Structure formats: C-alpha cells, structure tokens
C-alpha cells in the first residue's frame, strides 16, 4: 500500500548527530508498478537492463521491466532448496556490487576504527574457501584488508539489540564507460573503474567510505527514524523504515572527480565538495515496508501490512457487566493472513529531478546564501553522476544531460558571483564550465542604474578580471564595456589601466575611458602605466597633443617599465595571433628606439617569446614571407647586445649573418635607418669582435660609396671576427656573396682564416690584394702557424718576383718584410736552407749578416 505524493515544502530541520542532513521535499520518485508474483517474496533482486528476479521457497520467478508498463512474467524455475540469497551478475563479468546482510556481526564495548594495512590488526581472520572454482583459481586469489570498524552501543539510551544491529553492507564501484565528445558521441566503450565505495548502516545512521588509494570516511547519514534497510547507488542512497521510503544524496561523483583530477577548484574547473551536508530529497509514505533493492532506475519494494486486530467481547452478560472485565480484549483470528505486495517504483530522470531542484533553489536566492548554493550543488552532482556512465544513455539523453550540466555550472557561477561567500572565486571555473561568454554573464547581472554606489560582489569582479586577462576572442559591446569600466573604477581602480588594455574592451568609447583615467589622477593615483594608457586612448581619439604631453612626462626608462607592466599596450592576441596595437604602430614611426627597447624588456621579463617577437615586427612593418624589416634586425642586434638569456645565441647569430649576407649579395638597402652603427655594436657587445687590421687594408683597395652597404659589411665582418661565432654554420650561406667583389672576398678570406686555412688565404691575397699579405701574416701567422712565413709565404713571394709583372714592386716589398721576420726567427743554417737556390746573393746578404750577428750576440 502506498501514499500519494506530498506537496513540496520548506526544508526541514537538520537531524542531530555527527552529520547534518538538509531535508528538501522534492520528487525523485515517479510512477509505480505492481509485480504480479504468485507467492510472497522472500528474496528479490534486479539485473541487466530490464530483469527482476523474485524467489519464494524453492521457486524463482523472472519478470521483464520495461518503461512504465506492468511487469511481464518471463519464466519460472525451481531450485533444489529454499533460496537463501539472490544476486545478479552480467554474463562473463564478476535486500561488481555485493550486498550482504548477516546476523553474525559482533558488537564490542569499545569503538575502534582501523584503516588500510592496520585493519589486519583487528584479530579477525579470513579464510578463502573453494565455491566451485578450480583449486588453481583459489590458489591465486588473495585477501586485501581495507578497513575495520567496531561500534559500541550508547548505554545511556538503553539500546536494544535491534537498535545496534549492522545491516546493508555494500561495495559500490563507479565506472566510466566512455567519455562524451563535442558531438554527443561516446569516444570509447571500454569499462574503466574510477572509484570504489563502501557503505554500511545501523538502524539510525549510515556510513559511506571511499576506498581507492586510501580509506576515507566521506559521509555520515543520520536517519530521522529507525531504518530497516539501505541501498547505495551512484546518485542516491535509498533507505526504508517501517512506513517510509527515503532518498538521500551521495557524494560519489564529487569524490571521483577529485580522484580523477586533484587540481579541482582552480581557475579552469570546479566541483562541489565532498564535505557538504548530505541532503534528504524525499520521504515517501509506504505502509508496511519490509525490503528493497535497486537496479537501473527502479526501486523494488516489498510491503507487508500486518492484519488488523478485531476486538471481541465475551458472550457472558455477567462478565460483560463485571467491572474488571469491561475492557475489550484484542485478538487476532488464527486464520488471518498479512497482505503483501511487491512494487517497482520508477525514479524520475536525472534531468527532470534537476529541473525541480533548480526551481526549488530560486526560493533561497534572497533568503539564505548557503541553502541556494547547497541545492544547486546537489543538482550539479546529480547531472555529473549521470554523465559518468555515458554508454547507458541514449544520444538525446546525453545531449540533454550535457546541456543541464552546463546550465547547472551557470547557476552556480551566478551564486558565487552575486552572493557574498568566502568561495566567491569559484564563479570563474563554474562560468568557464558553463560555456557562457562574458557578455552573457554580464547580461545576467542585475544592473541598478548609473549610480556609482551600486555594489559589485567579489565573484563577478574576479571572473571579469580573469577573463579580460586571458585575451579571450570576445569583444564586448560599447554598453557592456562601459559597465565594466565603471565596475572596476568603483571596486578596483588600480586594475583599470589593465582592463582598458584588454582586446575584449576594443569597443569602449575613448572619451569614456579617458574620463575615468583622468579621475584616477585627481584622486591621487598616478603612475607610468596610467600615463601610457592615457597616451593609447589619446591616439584612438586622434588627440596628438595629449599623446605627446603624456609621453614627455616620464623618461624613456620609465616608459619601458610601464610596457613591462602591461604588454598589451603594444601587442594583443586575437584568434591566437599576436597583433601590434595602434600605439606600437605610432612608436614605429616616431620612437623606434623606444619600441625596440620595450620589446626587448618584455622578452627579458618572459612576457613574450622569441618567435612571437619576430612575428610582431614582421606584422608591424607589413613584411610577409621571408622579408626581414630593418626594425627586426635592430631588435636582433639589441638582443645580442643585451645577452638575453632565453635566446639561443647560435640561432641569433645565424639570423643576423644571414640577413647581412642577403642584403650585401642583393645590394638591398635597409627599409629604415638602422638604430646602431657597427662601431656602436663593437663597443657595446662582446659578440661583435674587433675587425682584424688586415681586413681594413683589403677593403680600402675598393671604394664603398654606399654607407648602408659598408655598415652591413662591417657588422658581418665584426661577427665573423667574434670568438663566439660558429664559422662552419655560415659557410653554406656564403655562396650568394661572390668573391669577385672586395666585400665578398674579405668575408670568404675571414671565414677561411677562422678555419685556419692560412695557406689558401695567402694564395688568395697574393693574387687579389698583395698589399694585405704582410698585415695578414703579421696578424695570423703566429705560434703554430709561424712556420708558414718561410714554408709558404717566402717561396710564394720569390716565385712571383721571378715572373715580374705589374705587382712586382708590391711583391718585392712584401718579400723584404718576410725576410726580416724569417731572419729573426731562424738559425743561420736553417735560414740558408729556405733561401731559393737561384737567388742573388747580394740581395739576401744583409739578412744573412743580421742572422749571423744575432747568433754571435746570443
């Protein structure tokens, strides 16, 4: 027998005890069916998608449960003896889930709780016995102790044995059978165990433990009246008393979410806490409840009403009139039998119950903050739990649940953004999970007019502030942008310059923005960041006078510091791409040095990456493809001078040498005037080495009228002369720079010199520029290369003098200087051995005499 639905009312008082229970009169139960079994059920259980099994005596009846129709009998089969316990398991898979009920629990006088390995100290031994499995399988089985808990009765309550009897022990695994993709399809059908829970109950309290990596008590359920049986499901705890079916919420999905991701409650995602007060959703009247079980979305209830006693009076008139016998005596006829029924109560769909919970939560929006958040959190967990087992849902159900999940996140975001709670920062992750845009969130705010006295809660400020910092691809309308500016001016004025620099605030009226910035000045708050922000707004307004005045109010060093505080003054991100601002474009034309210095400072402070900086200058200078603007070359040179730690030196040197070589080979002048000369770089940077003296003699043999060409050549030569330069890496790129030109010749000879190919260099210089040979030898032929004076240079000069020619005098002069060096370096005998056999004795005599005297003196 059942009672109809009660009307929903106000939440009841929480029950006393260790755990608080919030009571809401919601409707988790829907329609009910009568199971047409022939005998009074003694055991029953559900299984599969639609099967119900009922045992009585030695017979088992099977029924099909489909939708809200009556149960249809499937079959009846007999057993060898009376059915003592009934359980269902999927084919081929191991009141996964074990529900046990026993009278063998021992109640001791001292309470105790032992967790993990310590539970082995309980003194209770467990012995595995074969139950039809082969001995081999039993041999490889083992027992793992999870936890041990011992209860003690409260003697002051004069408790009876029935009040301290443990019942309803249950292990509940929670699986994920596939995650949902954006199109609502399940990515995988594999069954994955996410977590395992253990529940057991006394008549007045239930205990829920999580037993995964460690054993942890999650929730204590205080029942308003004595419970006879309890069943745990991933979404609810169902409890029966003598006349009531009760439905409590559980925290399994919250616990699993935190097991999956220990970084919950961050700026990206959140989940209601496990420690929330448990919630009683419904207490439904059923008369004579005896047992229950749960499967899929059904609750199976056995009711058995006791027969009504019939008052009977004695027939004797005299005894009837006798005073001591005037009371009526109740007597139960021996033939009377109790009435029983087996019901299937269908639980409502998660979405339907979710809608009711959301509707009910509206009651508390203006009454009690925590009650509103609590009920919306319950609704959120209900949907989250239903989504864990996605394979059991139809595509339409999945889509509906996903929408409900996002909607619930939006509701929680509203709560944390509008109500004054210590967890107001959770507005950000819940709004993110909801998929709501900033504009949609702002549209949900109750704006009370233009008065600056309006109160803005911390949660909303926190969400908007973070969203604007994250460079979302969303542009607020002029109206919403104005509201945001006012909001931050009232609550956090120091953030206002940062807010105005967000790409999302692109549509702000510059006049409105400037008015608030000027108010900051008058209120005593002024800084270089405010100055730069006002300069940027003035540019948008076309007010160049204000722009110039603001930029002159601080030194260049301070302005660079201001750009470090807010890089978005120069570079903003839209659709994943860095876009230079109007401010950056103006600096390019008017103060390129400040722009390069500011970008360099951003890079040194890890505000911008190497590739992002390169892209910035290319886009700013409208140079696509492989074309390199001079401003980017200036930036590379500045990086080298500053020795930026995060920049790879070989890569930077390669970039610069490649660009110098390309411009020299193409006779391509820079598109803007370089910010630094080669002399500046040599004086300021150790990576630009002093150019070897013989290179200047080589270059002086040809006029370099183009100043830019000469500067690029000097910078390239300086880099090659640097000890930090890797010559081998640049050789393959020297081909465009022909040796037919003096510039190309100098670079090639420099590279060969750095590779210690001195003999080849001597041949080249003797052929192309003999006046540079002796300066080259004086600079390069030292230490281990000293022997080349007489082994290479002396024979080569003698040979060339023999043939005469227009460069005879140069060769002769070089030979004399070579002989002077050789006479000093060699002993007389060695000196004689290196002289040419066909040489004129008179010519070599002075050098021989010098060598001889040198030996006499020593």
What are the pLDDT digits (tens) for 661-708?
A: 999 999 889 999 999 999 999 999 999 999 999 999 998 877 777 888
Mean pLDDT across 420-425: 88
Pairs from 412-416 (Cβ < 8 Å, separation ≥ 24): 412/270, 412/272, 412/373, 412/376, 412/377, 412/380, 413/441, 413/459, 413/463, 414/444, 415/369, 415/372, 415/373, 415/376, 416/373, 416/459
- Quote the pTM value: 0.75
* Region for 541 from its dihedrals, namely left if φ exceeds 0, alpha if ψ lies in -120 to 50, beta otherwise: alpha
- Flag whether pLDDT at 188 surpasses 90: no
3-state secondary structure of 343: strand
Mean pLDDT across 833-840: 83
**Region of poorest pLDDT, from 394-398, 444-448, 450-454:** 450-454
Q: What percent of the chain has pLDDT over 70?
A: 82
Q: What is the pLDDT at residue 853?
A: 85
- DSSP symbols for 47-68: ETTTEEEEEETTEEEEEE--TT
Q: What is the pLDDT at residue 678?
A: 95
Q: What is the pLDDT at residue 438?
A: 95
Distance of CA 629 to the CA centre of its chain: 37
Q: What is the pLDDT at residue 688?
A: 94
- Flag whether pLDDT at 321 surpasses 60: no
Of 612, 609, 590, 701, nearest in space to 647 by CA:
609
Of 376, 388, 465, nearest in space to 413 by CA:
376
What are the pLDDT digits (tens) for 368-402?
A: 678 889 999 999 999 999 998 777 778 898 999 99
Q: What is the pLDDT at residue 139?
A: 63
**Region of poorest pLDDT, from 58-67, 353-362, 488-497, 819-828:** 58-67
Q: What is the pLDDT at residue 525?
A: 66
Mean pLDDT across 34-43: 83
Summary mean pLDDT of the chain: 83
- Count of CB atoms situated within 10 Å of the CB of 521: 13
- Flag whether pLDDT at 196 surpasses 60: yes
- Burial group, residue 565, by CB count within 10 angstroms (0-12, 13-18, 19+): middle
Could you give the residue ranges of the DSSP H alpha helices within 120-272? 135-139, 252-260
Distance, first Cα to last Cα, the chain: 131
* Region for 661 from its dihedrals, namely left if φ exceeds 0, alpha if ψ lies in -120 to 50, beta otherwise: alpha
Residues whose CB falls within 8 Å of the CB of residue 821, separated by 6 or more in sequence, listed in order = 777, 789
Banded model confidence at residue 57, pLDDT cuts 50, 70, 90:
confident
Distance of CA 299 to the CA centre of its chain: 41
* Cross-strand bridge partners of residue 72: 64
**Region of poorest pLDDT, from 83-97, 200-214, 235-249:** 83-97
- Flag whether pLDDT at 181 surpasses 60: no
Of 710, 669, 663, nearest in space to 691 by CA:
710
- Flag whether pLDDT at 250 surpasses 80: yes
**Region of poorest pLDDT, from 116-125, 294-303, 641-650, 742-751:** 116-125
């Amino acid at each position: 027998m059942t009672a109809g639905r009660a009307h929903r009312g106000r939440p009841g008082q929480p029950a006393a005890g260790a755990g608080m229970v919030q009571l809401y009169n919601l409707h988790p139960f829907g329609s009910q069916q009568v199971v047409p079994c022939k005998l009074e059920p003694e055991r029953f259980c559900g299984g599969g998608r639609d099967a119900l099994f009922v045992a009585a005596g030695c017979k088992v009846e099977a029924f099909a449960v489909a939708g809200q129709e009556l149960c249809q009998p499937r079959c009846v089969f007999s057993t060898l003896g009376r059915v003592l316990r009934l359980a269902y398991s999927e084919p081929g898979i191991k009141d996964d889930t074990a529900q046990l009920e026993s009278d063998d629990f021992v109640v001791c006088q001292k309470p105790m709780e032992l967790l993990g390995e310590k539970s082995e100290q309980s003194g209770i031994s467990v012995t595995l016995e074969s139950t039809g499995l082969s001995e081999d399988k039993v041999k490889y089985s083992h027992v793992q102790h999870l936890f041990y808990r011992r209860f003690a009765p409260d003697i002051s309550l004069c408790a009876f044995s029935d009040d301290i009897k443990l019942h309803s022990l249950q292990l509940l695994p929670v699986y994920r059978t596939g995650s949902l993709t954006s199109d609502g399809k399940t990515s995988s059908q594999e069954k994955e165990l996410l977590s395992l829970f253990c529940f057991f109950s006394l008549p007045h309290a239930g205990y829920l433990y999580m037993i995964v990596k460690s054993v942890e008590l999650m929730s204590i359920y205080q029942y308003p009246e004595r419970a006879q049986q309890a069943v745990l499901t991933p979404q609810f705890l169902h409890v029966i008393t003598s006349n009531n079916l009760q439905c409590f919420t559980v925290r399994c999905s919250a616990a699993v979410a935190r097991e999956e991701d220990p970084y919950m409650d961050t700026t990206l995602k959140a989940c209601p806490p496990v420690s929330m007060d448990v919630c009683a959703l419904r207490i439904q009247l059923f008369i004579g409840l005896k047992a229950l079980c749960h499967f899929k979305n059904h609750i199976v209830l056995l009711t058995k009403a006791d027969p009504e006693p019939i008052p009977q009076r004695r027939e004797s008139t005299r005894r009837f009139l006798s005073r001591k016998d005037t009371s009526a005596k109740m007597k139960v006829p021996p033939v009377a039998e109790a009435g029983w029924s087996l019901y299937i109560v269908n639980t409502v769909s998660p979405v339907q119950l979710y809608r009711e919970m959301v509707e009910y939560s509206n009651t508390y929006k203006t009454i009690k903050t925590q009650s509103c958040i609590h009920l919306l959190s319950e609704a959120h967990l209900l949907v989250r739990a239903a989504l864990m087992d996605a394979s059991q849902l139809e595509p339409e159900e999945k889509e509906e649940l996903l929408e409900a999940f996002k909607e619930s996140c939006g509701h929680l975001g509203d709560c944390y953004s509008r109500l004054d709670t210590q967890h107001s920062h959770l507005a950000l992750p819940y709004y993110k999970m909801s998929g709501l845009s900033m504009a949609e969130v702002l549209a949900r705010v109750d704006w009370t007019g233009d008065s600056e006295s309006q109160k803005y809660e911390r949660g909303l400020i926190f969400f908007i502030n973070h969203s604007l910092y994250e460079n979302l691809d969303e542009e607020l309308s002029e109206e919403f942008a104005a509201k945001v500016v006012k909001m931050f001016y009232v609550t956090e004025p120091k953030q206002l310059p940062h807010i105005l620099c967000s790409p999302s605030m692109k549509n702000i009226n510059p006049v409105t923005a400037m008015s608030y910035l000027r108010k900051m000045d008058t209120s005593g708050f002024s800084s270089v960041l405010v100055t730069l922000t006002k300069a940027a707004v003035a540019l948008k307004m076309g007010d160049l006078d204000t722009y110039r005045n603001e930029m002159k109010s601080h030194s260049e060093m301070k302005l660079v510091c201001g750009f470090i505080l807010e890089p978005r003054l120069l570079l903003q991100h839209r659709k994943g791409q860095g876009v230079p601002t109007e401010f950056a474009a103006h600096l390019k034309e008017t103060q390129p040095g400040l722009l390069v210095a500011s970008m360099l400072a951003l890079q040194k402070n890890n505000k911008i990456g190497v590739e992002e900086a390169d892209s910035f200058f290319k886009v700013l200078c409208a140079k696509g493809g492989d074309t390199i603007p001079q401003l980017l070359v200036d930036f590379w040179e500045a990086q080298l001078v500053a020795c930026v730690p995060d920049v790879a030196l070989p890569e930077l040197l390669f970039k610069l040498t490649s660009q110098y070589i390309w411009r020299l080979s193409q006779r391509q002048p820079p598109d803007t005037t370089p910010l630094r000369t080669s002399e500046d770089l040599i004086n300021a940077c150790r990576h630009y080495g002093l150019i070897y003296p013989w290179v200047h003699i080589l270059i002086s043999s040809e006029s370099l009228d183009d100043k830019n060409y000469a500067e690029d050549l000097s910078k390239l030569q300086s880099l090659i002369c640097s000890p930090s330069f890797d010559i081998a890496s640049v050789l393959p790129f020297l081909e465009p720079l022909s040796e037919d030109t003096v510039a190309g010749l100098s670079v090639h000879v420099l590279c060969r010199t750095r590779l210690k190919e001195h003999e080849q260099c001597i041949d080249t210089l003797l052929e192309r520029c003999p006046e540079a040979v002796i300066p080259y030898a004086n600079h390069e032929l030292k230490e281990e290369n000293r022997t080349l004076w007489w082994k290479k240079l002396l024979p080569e000069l003698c040979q060339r003098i023999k043939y005469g020619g227009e460069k005879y005098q140069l060769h002769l002069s070089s030979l004399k200087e070579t002989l002077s060096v050789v006479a000093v370096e060699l002993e007389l005998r060695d000196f004689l051995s290196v002289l040419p056999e066909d040489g004129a004795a008179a010519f070599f005599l002075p050098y021989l005499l010098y060598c001889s005297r040198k030996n006499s003196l020593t």
